[in-house]
Structure 1
Amino acid sequence: MPTRPARRTAAVALGLASALVLAACGNPSDGAATGAAATGSAAARANTGPDQKRITTPTVDSIAAEVPEAIRRRGTLEIVNSPGSAGPLTFYATDNKTVIGVETDLAHLVAGVLGLEPRVHPASWENMFVGLDSGKYDVGIGNITVTEERKDKYDFASYREDHLAFQAKKGSGLKVTGPEDVAGKRVAVSSGTNQEKLLVEWSEENVRAGRAPVDIKYFQHESDTYLALRSGRIDLHLGPNPTAAYRAATTGDTEVVGTYSGGGATLQGLIAATTKKDNGLVKALADALNEVIGNGTYAKVLKRWSLAGESVAKSEINPPGLPRTNK
């Protein structure tokens, strides 16, 4: 498929730590802080309790009518996501059982437009896709990046830009601008993710250039990853930028040392609502997302979690995704 120019070029997060401090100290209503730097300010403001008082939106009958009949009859939208241990994407509230975060808020908005009761199911990353494949879940709204390979099995309705971040132990002195900066480094990444694909390709590029490959590490739990980072058993962790920036601001034990588009150097990566291919739901999802983009509730949700810098102007069905080779 043809690709489109990146709306943002890959960039290094030079000075991000100081930007986070400034964002946290700024007036929450001044609107100056957006994107990764603004995520830190969410830590002090965001409601992380189980009573979320979510932003709501009314049903739009014409869009609700686009939902497949079996789902309309059921009256629920079965949503799957994969909670982490920290915000702002998908995580547990202070009661340790209620799933909250920007992804969950957006899922509720979509269900509202479609006139369906949102039922959010937490699952591991791998089991999100297993459940979508089997039809157990209608849609995954869980920081899933559009890739050309995934488009073989799934339909996508985009709703957020995808930015990745390299995190290191606070004061590491590391900076990541490209493959050469991770040559020989011990880097943790989650299996089966867009981040893993990027890291593997960078490692291969290093080998072709005569440099050391990346020493890629896998951990089952996020807590184990950060323990390894703090103890020095790994040098870096590559994951979603919002989570990385949020943690850096709230804990002070890590720092973001580089950011990169989830789509690679030539394509802006996109996060999308994900549904089983050809099940008839994707148009309703895209139209619902465009409705909340248009009525302003989408912007309010992203602002609530200080992710305005990752907003999109329009939801697209099956937009260009991360290439199969990303070369």
Structure 2
Amino acid sequence: MSTSTSRRTTTTAAALGLTAALVLAACGNPSEGGTAEVAAASGGTVKINLSPDQKRVTTGKVDSIAARVPEEIRRRGTLEIVDSSGSAAPLTFYATDDRTVIGVEPDIAHLVADVLGLEPHINTVSWENIFVGLDSGKYDVGFSNITVTEERKEKYDFATYREDNLGFEAKKGSGLRIDGPEDVAGKAVAVSSGTNQEKLLVEWSKENEKAGREPVDIKYYQNESDTYLALQSGRIDVYLGPNPTTAYHAATTGKTEVVGTYSGAGSTLQGLIAATTKKDSGLVEPLAAALDHVVENGTYAQVLQRWGLSDEAVTTSEINPPGLPKTDA
């Protein structure tokens, strides 16, 4: 298990020109037939299973790692996992039965629970209630595309498991190309509240004002469907979200396109997604050890492959690495 807090950095140019984590090829209505086809950036295609019968990748318990789980959780026998509700394919979304939670996030959570010898219990809540539940001890760990940030590290511990890249999504044929703050000056951009995407966009808006450009017109919507209605109607110019979800939506609808990508930690640091626990809960080290184990035995790679996200793989789980810097006051 790695507890290193070092992390490779990228140059500004590289961060501004991040390759999309996945390239998707639409194959009609994904709900028809229960599959969607994705093509990895490295070539080839993968059919995503959208049915409730997931046939998830599994692995065995590792006693030496399981023994490090806090006693209260071991006695209970379940790992209380919290994830955000709503539709965010291929991260977390509902299968064709509209009940079964599927996606890369629950798959990785299940793998970790396997290693720890615990029964995974996934709780789907609104984004803000992920952190409320972690704070209160109602949930043990969040697997919900949660980015490591310096502000969050004050309250939470992180065990990383995927790279974090963001995507700017616009109406198809918009002619937009977004590589930096100047490209969204004066633009209406939708973003979810409380996310690292919002922090990045707020910082870009401040940079624009300092440079004498118009600020970003930041918009907030209650759910994804409202955001995409606003995008199609022209009420917003761009939506900023996780790159896997924007790429998936663009390909499967054919109505939008990804017009830029960016690291979730800013211009000089590769963003990282992590399993998130209440600070000093005693769970982060066994989580990181479990993640390192599934990386080593190949089941982690199988999970990323089945969701078309192999390009976001990490080689080790890091505990509390450098994250998105705090926004300047």
- TM-score above 0.5: yes
Structure 1 gap segments, 5+ residues each: 25-30
| Partners of 2:124 and 2:202 in 1: CA distance | 28
SS for the counterpart of 1:46 is strand
**1:90 and 1:103 in contact (8 A); partners too:** yes
More helix, by proportion = 1
| Partners of 1:75 and 1:299 in 2: CA distance | 27
Q: Which residue of 2 aligns with 1:258?
A: 260
**2:134 and 2:277 in contact (8 A); partners too:** yes
**2:25 and 2:39 in contact (8 A); partners too:** no
- Which residue among 6, 11, 20 is the counterpart of 2:16? 11
When residues 292 and 7 of structure 1 are mapped into structure 2, their CA distance, relative to the original with a 3 A threshold, is farther
**1:3 and 1:267 in contact (8 A); partners too:** no
Deviation at 1:129, TM superposition (A): 0.4
Deviation at 1:5, TM superposition (A): 3.9
**1:13 and 1:256 in contact (8 A); partners too:** no
When residues 296 and 313 of structure 1 are mapped into structure 2, their CA distance, relative to the original with a 3 A threshold, is same
Q: Which residue of 2 aligns with 1:106?
A: 108
Aligned: 1:270 with 2:275: no
Deviation at 1:198, TM superposition (A): 0.3
| Partners of 2:17 and 2:232 in 1: CA distance | 22
Deviation at 1:98, TM superposition (A): 0.9
Aligned: 1:73 with 2:78: no
Deviation at 1:97, TM superposition (A): 1.1
**1:12 and 1:257 in contact (8 A); partners too:** no
| Partners of 2:273 and 2:27 in 1: CA distance | 24
TM-score computed with the length of structure 2 as normaliser: 0.90
**2:271 and 2:324 in contact (8 A); partners too:** yes
SS for the counterpart of 2:222 is coil
**2:161 and 2:272 in contact (8 A); partners too:** yes
- What pairs with 1:50-61 in structure 2 (closer than 5 Å)? 50-61=52-63
Q: Which residue of 2 aligns with 1:320?
A: 322
Aligned: 1:93 with 2:98: no
Deviation at 1:242, TM superposition (A): 0.3
**1:5 and 1:266 in contact (8 A); partners too:** no
**Per-residue deviation, residues 270-305 of structure 1 (Å, max 9, x unmatched):** 000000000100001000000000000000000000
Q: Which residue of 1 aligns with 2:206?
A: 204
- Which residue among 35, 40, 47 is the counterpart of 1:33? 40
2:166 maps to amino acid:
L
More strand, by proportion = 2
| Partners of 2:10 and 2:316 in 1: CA distance | 13
Deviation at 1:310, TM superposition (A): 0.4
2:198 maps to amino acid:
E
When residues 67 and 19 of structure 1 are mapped into structure 2, their CA distance, relative to the original with a 3 A threshold, is closer
| Partners of 2:118 and 2:213 in 1: CA distance | 53
| Partners of 1:32 and 1:209 in 2: CA distance | 40
**Per-residue deviation, residues 155-195 of structure 1 (Å, max 9, x unmatched):** 00000000001000111111101000000000000000000
| Partners of 2:126 and 2:225 in 1: CA distance | 15
SS for the counterpart of 1:192 is coil
- What pairs with 1:59-208 in structure 2 (closer than 5 Å)? 59-208=61-210
Structure 2 gap segments, 5+ residues each: 29-37
Deviation at 1:249, TM superposition (A): 1.1
SS for the counterpart of 1:148 is coil
**Per-residue deviation, residues 71-94 of structure 1 (Å, max 9, x unmatched):** 000000000001332410000111
| Partners of 1:46 and 1:306 in 2: CA distance | 8
- Which residue among 295, 301, 304 is the counterpart of 1:302? 304
**2:266 and 2:324 in contact (8 A); partners too:** yes
Aligned-pair identity in percent equals: 71
**2:17 and 2:261 in contact (8 A); partners too:** yes
TM-score computed with the length of structure 1 as normaliser: 0.91
SS for the counterpart of 2:287 is helix
Q: Which residue of 2 aligns with 1:284?
A: 286
1:156 maps to amino acid:
F
| Partners of 2:67 and 2:224 in 1: CA distance | 40
Deviation at 1:326, TM superposition (A): 7.4
Q: Which residue of 2 aligns with 1:28?
A: none
The alignment of Structure 1 onto Structure 2 pairs a total of residues equal to 314
**1:283 and 1:317 in contact (8 A); partners too:** yes
